[in-house]
């Protein structure tokens, strides 16, 4: 997550998969229940996150050799899962950063001749803040929660769609660089997409989901009142998946991650989903944000629970998620 200077005082104190998807009408309500017979692999979640947050990647600061290794890893993952590059290659060069830096962008084409012209963006930032300049025992900011956890979940969702072809709309899979430098990766990308008349329906950006909250809902979205996304996700999952977190509104987190660049450019529902609630993780932008503190069963369950919602977003005949007036 982009550095929250005004939050630092608070934070310092502080299996075998089936590939079928079925949509059914709930007889007791107007809600549509989506049954996804696909299991997210806990082992794959663990292995992916462990490497992305490893010391080998040196904290993944934009423009460094560490993030270059991460970029190669993400490119290989997309290629392995038959997810095509959106541009000529997976690498989308940032236009607003002094040294070479890249978003990694793939696309899963929709199966419907008309709906495939519309895009759902699934995204997370793969950069972090790199190596501490002062001498200390541990100098690497591994960024396991921020935001290797989000990248891991998005990658698993992308694999699901690539394997099941359960999307009538096209899905743009984006791993942003430069988020920690001021949302540079998303700002650069939206300029190119706008020039192409990119037909955006909605964006789900996944940000800091490495540990669970002790609340009666799974996660929160930023900008809760800006759209009906929360209520629609809950309708699609049939669970209390998304709730309102007062701290999110107080600290205006809607403006602090890569969803905001897309919202500014397109004026569509573009929001971040998170489980970092200012009480459940003490190591924001800290060298102790490491893999060993991540709750792998939680990340797996989070991803699994969102699959019916993201599937419905990708197949609904009309654009049901809308901005509030």
Please provide residue 314's backbone torsions phi and psi, each rounded to the nearest 5 degrees.
-85, -10
Distance of alpha carbon 195 from alpha carbon 259, whole angstroms = 18
Distance of alpha carbon 22 from alpha carbon 172, whole angstroms = 23
Distance of alpha carbon 114 from alpha carbon 129, whole angstroms = 41
Is the dihedral angle over the CA atoms 68, 208, 266, 264 positive or is it negative? negative
8 A C-beta contact, residue 177 and residue 102: yes
Q: What is the pLDDT of residues 182-219, one digit of tens each?
A: 999 999 999 999 999 999 999 999 999 999 999 999 99
Distance of alpha carbon 117 from alpha carbon 199, whole angstroms = 7
Per-residue pLDDT of the chain (325 residues; tens, 9 = 90+): 766 644 443 333 333 333 445 544 433 334 567 899 999 999 999 999 999 999 999 999 999 999 999 999 999 999 999 999 999 999 999 999 999 999 999 999 999 999 999 999 999 999 999 999 989 999 999 999 999 999 999 999 999 999 999 999 999 999 999 999 999 999 999 999 999 999 999 999 999 999 999 999 999 999 999 999 999 999 999 999 999 999 999 999 999 999 999 999 999 999 999 999 999 999 999 999 999 999 999 999 999 999 999 999 999 999 999 999 8
Distance of alpha carbon 196 from alpha carbon 191, whole angstroms = 9
Q: Which residue has the tokens 């998946």?
A: 241
How many C-beta neighbours within 10 Å does residue 275 have? 27
Longest dimension (CA), the chain: 63
pLDDT of residue 31: 53
Domains and CATH numbers, the chain: 5-315 (3.40.630.10)
Distance of alpha carbon 105 from alpha carbon 90, whole angstroms = 5
β-strands 200-206, 270-274 pairing? parallel
Q: What is the pLDDT of residues 55-73, one digit of tens each?
A: 999 999 999 999 999 999 9
8 A C-beta contact, residue 70 and residue 60: yes
| pTM exceeds 0.95 for this model | no
pLDDT of residue 11: 38
β-strands 170-176, 270-274 pairing? unpaired
pLDDT of residue 8: 40
Distance of alpha carbon 324 from alpha carbon 136, whole angstroms = 49
Quick check: helix, strand or coil at residue 234? helix
pLDDT of residue 34: 83
């Amino acid at each position: 997550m982009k550095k929250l200077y005004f939050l630092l005082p608070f934070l310092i104190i502080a299996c075998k998969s089936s590939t079928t998807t079925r949509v059914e009408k709930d007889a007791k309500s107007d809600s549509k229940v989506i049954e996804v017979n696909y299991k997210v692999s806990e082992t794959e979640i663990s292995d992916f996150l462990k490497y992305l947050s490893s010391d080998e990647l040196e904290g993944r600061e934009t423009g460094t050799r560490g993030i270059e290794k991460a970029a190669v890893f993400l490119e290989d993952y997309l290629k392995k899962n038959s997810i095509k590059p959106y541009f000529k290659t997976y690498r989308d060069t940032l236009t607003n950063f002094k040294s070479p830096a890249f978003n990694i962008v793939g696309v899963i084409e929709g199966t419907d001749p008309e709906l495939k012209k519309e895009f759902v963006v699934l995204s997370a930032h793969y950069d972090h803040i790199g190596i501490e300049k002062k001498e200390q025992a541990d100098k690497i900011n591994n960024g396991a929660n921020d935001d290797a956890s989000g990248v891991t979940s998005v990658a698993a969702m992308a694999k699901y769609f690539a394997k099941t072809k359960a999307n009538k709309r096209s899905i743009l899979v984006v791993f942003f660089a430069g988020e920690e430098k001021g949302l540079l990766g998303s700002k650069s990308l939206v300029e190119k997409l706008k020039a192409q008349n990119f037909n955006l329906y909605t964006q789900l950006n996944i940000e800091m989901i490495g540990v669970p909250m002790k609340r009666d809902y799974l996660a929160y979205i930023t900008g809760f009142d800006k759209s009906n996304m929360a209520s629609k996700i809950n309708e699609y999952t049939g669970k209390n998946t998304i709730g309102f977190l007062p701290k999110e509104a107080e600290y205006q987190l809607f403006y602090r991650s890569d969803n905001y660049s897309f919202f500014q450019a397109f004026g569509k529902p573009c929001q971040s989903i998170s489980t970092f609630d200012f009480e459940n993780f003490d190591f924001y932008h800290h060298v102790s944000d490491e893999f060993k503190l991540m709750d792998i069963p939680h990340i797996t369950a989070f991803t699994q629970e969102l699959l019916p919602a993201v599937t419905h977003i990708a197949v609904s005949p009309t654009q049901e998620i809308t901005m509030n007036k």
